[in-house]
Amino acid sequence: MPYVRSWVGDAAHFFHPLSLSEQCKRMVMLKAYIDDSGSHEQSHACVVPGYFGGVNRWKEFERRWRRVLVEHGIGEFHARFFWRSFRVGHGVGEYRGWSEAQLYAFLDRLLGVIEDTDIYPFACGILRSEWNLLTLRQQKILCGGTPPHLDEASTNPMFFPFQHAITRLIMHCKPGLVMHFFFDENRLTNPWATICYTQLKALAIEEGAPHFAAKMGGLTFDDSRIALPLQAADLLAYEAHRYIKDANGNKKFPIGSVYFRALRRLKSQEDFRLFDRERLDEFFPRFLRNHDTVETDANAKGQTS
């Protein structure tokens, strides 16, 4: 594992705004998760989960997580690779030669780090089957498009949970604090996440919410081999996506022990939103009504000009 003095410390020092003390900064670790196919068209759900917390809490996490990795001789925890060992019945890759008991003991240590640190889980997602039932106009509006100017708006299903997650997280940001968002570096993720984040910040200013935009410190992409907190986001992302897929709409489906422990410090049920048909039916009337009003006003101005 590459040696770093403290990725968290360096990141907190340099991220915008530079003039703010570390005590006024909050860090959010994000992981966009589709599924093993890696295809938007075939994925069961598009989910953006992660953890948020203060800089000093992330420093504590970093020290503890690194200690576990070093003691076990692991360079990086990646959920897909880790669980692959269980599918074949023995350790593979970095875990080669490990028994199932050793694998569980290692995972227990990592979950203990998450449970013992004041970092808080969140997730937002939408079922692909429900997204496909939306009209093109509805998709574009949910992706941040503003009527009547929808021609250039995206229909990427990841835009909606990403923007919704950020909006929800900013509500946890008290006056004077700033949240900076970190994403695991990925050539498929970087472009759409950058567009989406920039668009959301500009929209907040345009719609008269500069205080909201001021709390959005920035978006950074980093290597999870060095940015250890992103490995926790990866673990949660894998578990969240697996639960959604296995539950298949059953709200009483039992939560597994690993997922339960990863959610230990959940602040609010509102921090976890899966937009299935029921929630979309609750969300749409108010949301689309606001956008229809904007479109009506814009058309009226065009007619009188």
**pLDDT tens readout for residues 177-205:** 889 999 888 888 888 899 999 999 998 99
Evaluated on CA atoms 225, 228, 230, 231, the torsion sign reads positive
What residues does 179 pair with on adjacent strands?
26, 216
Note the pLDDT of residue 18: 53
pTM to 2 decimals?
A: 0.86
Note the pLDDT of residue 19: 52
Least reliable range by pLDDT among 109-123, 149-163, 227-241: 149-163
Tell how strand 272-275 and strand 120-127 pair up: parallel
pLDDT band at 120 (very low <50, low <70, confident <90, very high): very high
Average pLDDT of span 94-101:
90
Average pLDDT of span 92-108:
92
pLDDT band at 293 (very low <50, low <70, confident <90, very high): very low
Residue 34: is its pLDDT beyond 70?
A: no
pLDDT band at 286 (very low <50, low <70, confident <90, very high): low
What residues does 126 pair with on adjacent strands?
46, 275
For residue 172, give Cα distances in angstroms to 50, 180, 264: 14, 13, 18
Quick one: which of 114, 137, 128 has its CA closest to 45? 128
Note the pLDDT of residue 243: 93
Concatenating the DSSP letter of every residue in 220-239 gives EEE-TTT-THHHHHHHHHHH
pLDDT band at 36 (very low <50, low <70, confident <90, very high): very low
Note the pLDDT of residue 110: 98
Check residue 233 and give left, alpha or beta (phi > 0: left; psi -120 to 50: alpha): alpha
Mean residue pLDDT across the chain: 83
Asked if residue 296 lies in contact with residue 146, where contact means CB atoms within 8 angstroms, the answer is: no
Note the pLDDT of residue 29: 78
Average pLDDT of span 230-245:
93
Note the pLDDT of residue 11: 72
pLDDT tens digits, one per residue of 2-19? 445 677 877 766 665 555
Note the pLDDT of residue 32: 59
Note the pLDDT of residue 39: 39
Q: Which residue has the higher pLDDT, 86 or 82?
A: 82
Average pLDDT of span 235-253:
91
Degrees (nearest 5) of the Cα angle 223, 41, 281?
100
